[in-house]
Amino acid sequence: MNALLNWLDNRTGYKALMHEALYERVPGGARWRYVWGSTLVFTFVLQMITGLMLWTAYSPSTRTAWESVFYIQHEMYLGNVIRGIHHFAAQAMVVLMAIHLVQVVIDGAYRAPREINFWLGIVLMMIVLGLSLTGYLLPWDQKGYYATQVTTNIMSATPGVGQQVQLLAQGGPEYGHLTLTRFFAMHAGLLPGLLIAFLALHIAAFRRQGLTVHDPKHAPDTTFWPDQVLRDAVVCLAVLAVVLLLAIFKGAELSAPADPAVKFDAARPEWYFLFLFRFLKFHSVEALGVAFGAIIVPGILMGILTLMPLTAKALGSFGHTLNKAFIWLMAIGITVLTVMAFYEDANNPSHLAALAEAHRDAERARELASGPSKIPLEGAVSLLRNDPFTQGPRLFAQHCSSCHRYNGHDGRGTVVTEMTGEGENKKSSVALATATDLGGFGRREWMKAVVVDYPAHFSAVKNAGWYKAAKAKVAAGEEVTFLDPESSEMADWSGDSAALKSPENAENVKAIVEFLAAEAGHSGVEIDSALAEKGRSVAVDGTWEGAIAGTSCAGCHSSIGSDFTPIADDAADGYPTLAKYASEAWLKDFIRHPDAKRHYGSKNQMPSYAPEQLTDTDLDLLVRWLTGNYTKTAVADYPSLITQSAAPEKAAAEPAAATP
């Protein structure tokens, strides 16, 4: 072995290189405070290794990027761990870089003759931040897509060349395939190459100048090997352990596929850029413009940082004191702004609701991509676009929530509010529903409420302006045709609660509810056929007991129990059709023609939704969501907010938006 090693040394001179690398003199002995530079190199190497592994499975195009990251995350052996290590090592690198910068300034390691090395370090810091920014977009998910858009929009605010820089980075006026490929080229090619080159220069300059030591008599002089190497290895191992634990137990997030058609209100930059995000939200900064807050102020701070060696040289020890004070103030300011951003987001109901929806969409996308149909040829973005469970709540919030509620919220997990009062008394309060709540529409409990408690079930209409105006006209002696849950044939019949809830009719109520649920035919609702058939007899033939004996639903609604077919208005009997009541076909026709005589006729107050307002595709998605006709899901739905919606004063004071 010695002969082999001597031969290798004779040909390469490796022993001299090893000696030069390992036996560097460390005045004052090995110290734990010297480990930060080595940990930075270690995390970068970790990034290189995991990045190459990810590269083998990543496909940089708008149609395949999310799909390939999904494959890495959920299909590739240990892919989630590799991606997690890459993700959290990037964050660790930013933290270690900040610690290293503060230590360099405090120790005065930026002063002559180490100015060049300090400036090389600043260049390296900019490259690391550039790697973080460019890597954020690569999964092509909602979070990265919209957060990176914020960054490129800030680029456009650069005085003079902003628009050109943005166009160059995006590969055109809009985000698309060229944006992704350019960011990938920078992240995996240009920036790592620059970092390696400047890192080599940085280490070479460091070796030339040596360590900056305040107290060289702290301990006997030693060499880099073995004492300092041991300390570096221990801290690097600790960093690896933290990163690995985060990768295994927390994991790197993959939100829903990027969809420019869906607004992503939960978008935020990575936590280490939140300080700038929060700084830009100050009213005074907003008034001065994005260029001032995102370009000029950070540029001034970086200028002061870059001039530190010259400041210390010109002002001596006083300049060094100023530099230390500046770095501490900047560190405290960044920390305070970051904490403010987290605190405000944690107490912002709108942001929490957006996060809940983003989490729901991400879980649903993963569920659909893992399902039997997998990802369609048109790409992952179509998974949620064609999913009633995802699109239904959005369409409900857009078209229905101005009147209806869904379990007390707007369909997307948020209490509906409105501005009330004038001037200084203007405030946000809970908006009362003016139509019945559609949570559980057409299912047993909903149908039961129609049968046994019609006045209360439709009581929300009493909040509507049209209802109050109609009641006022009636009080004045006018004849007005309108839907009145307090005074109508159905209200009178359902209002006979004693008879409906009597022991002899309990089974009849249960049977007719089962029959109505069977008529609706909602997906996932198992029907007791015998009980439903008995309910048909009760509804059509009127086999009730007690005070309501002899009555039947068919006495007014002659259509009950028949197949739903839109009929001509002149054939309607003046009562809402109950043919397949609450089924998909019935609901689609009702939304298109609520004012038809087969529905509410002259009593109708609901707007008709023509295809120009609600396309056939969107109508189908909305109706399938309301009727439960979509791929089975284990994703938790939005929690009920009926309590908050029913207590306006409390809900206005404490808006709620729970996460699923």
Helix (H, G, I), strand (E, B) or coil at 259: coil
What is the pLDDT, as a whole number, of residue 658?
39
**Reported confidence tier of residue 196, pLDDT bands at 50, 70, 90:** very high
The full DSSP string for 161-173 is THHHHHHHHHTSS
On whether both 59 and 72 belong to a single domain, the answer is yes
Same structural domain, 480 and 421: no
Instruction: Determine the Cα angle at 629 with ends 377 and 253, to 5°.
Output: 55
Q: Say whether both 334 and 225 belong to one domain.
A: yes
- Residues 597 and 646 placed together within one structural domain of the fold: no
Domain boundary among 587, 604, 621: 604
Are 538 and 412 in the same domain? no
pLDDT at 613 over 60: yes
Same domain, yes or no, for 208 and 76?
Answer: yes
Lowest mean pLDDT among 293-307, 413-427, 605-619: 413-427
Position 249 pLDDT exceeds 70 = yes
Q: What per-residue confidence (pLDDT) applies to 571?
A: 73
- Residue 20: inside a domain, yes or no? no
Task: Give the residue from 27, 33, 42 showing the smallest Cα distance to 223.
Answer: 27
**Residue at 101: amino acid letter:** L
**In the chain, helix, strand, coil percent, each to 5?**
65, 0, 35
Q: Over 70: is that where the pLDDT of 141 sits?
A: yes
- Residue 127 structure tokens: 């490259």
CA angle 390, 393, 394 (to 5 degrees): 85
Cis amide leading into 226 (omega within 30): yes
Residue 473, SS3? Answer: helix
pLDDT at residue 616 greater than cutoff 80 = yes
Q: Are residues 599 and 464 in the same domain?
A: yes
The answer to whether residue 649 scores a pLDDT higher than 50 is no
120: Cα separation from own chain's centroid? 37
Q: For residue range 8-39, list pLDDT tens digits in order.
A: 988 898 888 887 777 777 777 788 888 999 99
> Among 296, 327, 351, which residue terminates a domain?
351
Predicted pLDDT of residue 546: 58
Q: What is the C-alpha to C-alpha distance for residues 110 and 119, in angstroms, rounded to an integer?
A: 8
553-588 b/e (C-beta count within 10 Å ≥ 16 → b): bbebbbbbbeebeebeeeebeebbbbbbbbbbebbb
Same domain, 228 and 318: yes
| Residue 84 pLDDT > 80 | yes
| 135-149 average pLDDT score | 92
For residues 556 and 243, the model is more confident at 243
pLDDT above 70 coverage of the chain, percent: 95
User: Whole domain around residue 660: which residue ranges?
Assistant: 383-435+606-660
Q: Is the same domain home to 91 and 163?
A: yes
Task: State CA 168 to chain mean position distance.
Answer: 28
Would you state the pLDDT for residue 279? 94
Chain segment 163-184, per-residue pLDDT in tens: 898 898 888 888 889 999 999 9
Q: State the pLDDT at residue 655.
A: 41
Check whether residue 617 and residue 537 sit in a common domain: no
Is residue 16 in some structural domain? no
pLDDT, residue 651, reads 40
Are 60 and 149 within one domain? yes
Q: Note whether residue 424 is domain-resident.
A: yes
The alpha carbon torsion through 554, 557, 559, 561 (nearest 10 deg) reads -50
- Residue range 197-243, pLDDT digits in tens: 999 999 989 888 777 777 777 778 788 888 889 999 999 999 999 99
What is the total count of domains within the chain? Answer: 3
472 located within any domain = yes
Q: Please give the torsion angle defined by the CA atoms of residues 268, 273, 275 and 277, in that order, rounded to the nearest 10 degrees.
A: -40
Over residues 396-407, mean pLDDT: 95
CATH code of the domain covering residue 36? 1.20.810.10
Domain's final residue, options 562, 583, 604: 604
pLDDT of amino acid 654:
40
Q: How long is the chain?
A: 660
Region 591-610: mean pLDDT is: 92
Task: Indicate the average pLDDT of the chain.
Answer: 89
- Flag whether pLDDT at 657 surpasses 60: no
Q: Is residue 592 part of a domain?
A: yes
User: Are residues 500 and 522 located together in one domain of the fold?
Assistant: yes
- Give percent above pLDDT 90 in the chain: 61
- Is residue 360 in some structural domain? no
Q: Is the pLDDT of residue 364 over 60?
A: yes
Quickly state the pLDDT bin for 53 (edges 50, 70, 90).
very high
Q: Is residue 248 part of a domain?
A: yes
pLDDT of 182 reads 94
Is 356 inside any structural domain?
no
In this prediction, residues 518-523 reach a mean pLDDT of: 94
